[in-house]
Amino acid sequence: MEKLRYCAAPPRTMPVLPSDMPADRRRAIIVSRVMWANGTKLRYAFMETGRDDQKAVVRESFAEWKGIGIGLDFEEVTSLAEAEVRVGFEQGDGSWSYLGRDVLGIGQNDRTMNFGWDLTTPYGRTTARHEIGHTLGLPHEHQNPNAGIVWDEEAVYAFLGAPPNNWPRETTFHNVLRKLDPAEVKGSDWDPESVMEYSFPSGLVISPEEYKTNGIRPPGTISKIDQEQVLIWYPGLQPQLPRLTPFQSTPMSLKPGEQFNAEIVPDASREYSIGTFGAADVVLVLFEEVDGELRYLAGDDDSGEDRNALINVKLFAGRRYVVRARLYYAWASGESAVMYW
């Protein structure tokens, strides 16, 4: 069998939710919670290790994802303290990335992404696209519960337990054999062309028959379905945003997974509250415009809790702020609103 090296993604940080929570609400929270607020600028920094040619591939791969037209933006910075995404090149540690907003829980001087082999080859470039996909919140495609893959499990354990991967059984189970809970998946059925799909040789799949004989061999590029799915979460941004008026609630009219965006330009410098209303799980994020760029200022996530998202923050007269609210789930009337006062 051909000997490829594979992404060994760390376990996802799962929210602690009440055991009696309705299944559809639980699913909506788990699926959406890992995704970024659309319009976020993710700053990435390289650790001290890593050759210039390796870093160039990572830059190109970020640009490739941005080129789809997504509403996220990426900026390279030199300070680890400023970066949400910290990229390492430790050759003995494999290639991996934390999933979506899980990177925010990683220590400020620690890697959130690593590349353990040469990125200048075609397979290396695929690896860079794949790991950035994880940072955007995309899981492994072959673990999609809709895939219908039946594995020869002992053959998979033996294959990945041998060089060059040398994985223990728990790593193989977590990254290959474990089916994602349906709560962790939103969108398409299995996409064997996805950049989030591993390339597997023949002899590891029992069914579907096509993949038993031929293996699973994605092209290694961002597929059409990858593009469609990432644009659902991160569509292109509106050129003009509605402006909130103090003490006046504004309906958000969102479906689960959708996002409301508005601007705030206060006429007085003081402490303000910005909050949501309604029977809904929402993540609320506030950005401040600084030198033409939006900088994260504050946020709150009320998902799974018996309260509404609320930000208390000092705003300054004449400055521009942008509030973004992504709906996880709504019940009762299904209506939600946002207001600042």
Topology classification of domain 250-340: Jelly Rolls (2.60.120)
User: In the chain, which residues fall in CATH 2.60.120.1050?
Assistant: 250-340
DSSP state of 238: P
Q: How far is Cα 278 from Cα 276, in angstroms, rounded to an integer?
A: 7
- With a CB cutoff of 8 Å and minimum separation 6, the contacts of 105 are 13
The confidence score (pLDDT) of residue 283 equals 96
Which two three-digit tokens encode residue 68? 């789809």
The confidence score (pLDDT) of residue 123 equals 96
Which of these, 336, 267, 340, lies nearest to 298 by C-alpha position?
340
DSSP lists the bridge partners of residue 205 as 151
The confidence score (pLDDT) of residue 235 equals 96
The bridge status of strand 150-151 relative to strand 250-251 is unpaired
CA distances 62 to 46, 49, 135, 238, 248, Å, are 13, 19, 10, 22, 39
The confidence score (pLDDT) of residue 246 equals 97
The confidence score (pLDDT) of residue 5 equals 94
The confidence score (pLDDT) of residue 16 equals 86
Helix (H) or strand (E) holding 63: helix 52-66
User: In the chain, which residues fall in CATH 3.40.390.10?
Assistant: 23-233
Q: Identify the segments of the chain with pLDDT beneath 70.
A: 1-2, 183-188
- pTM equals 0.92
So what CATH class is 23-233?
A: alpha beta
The confidence score (pLDDT) of residue 145 equals 85
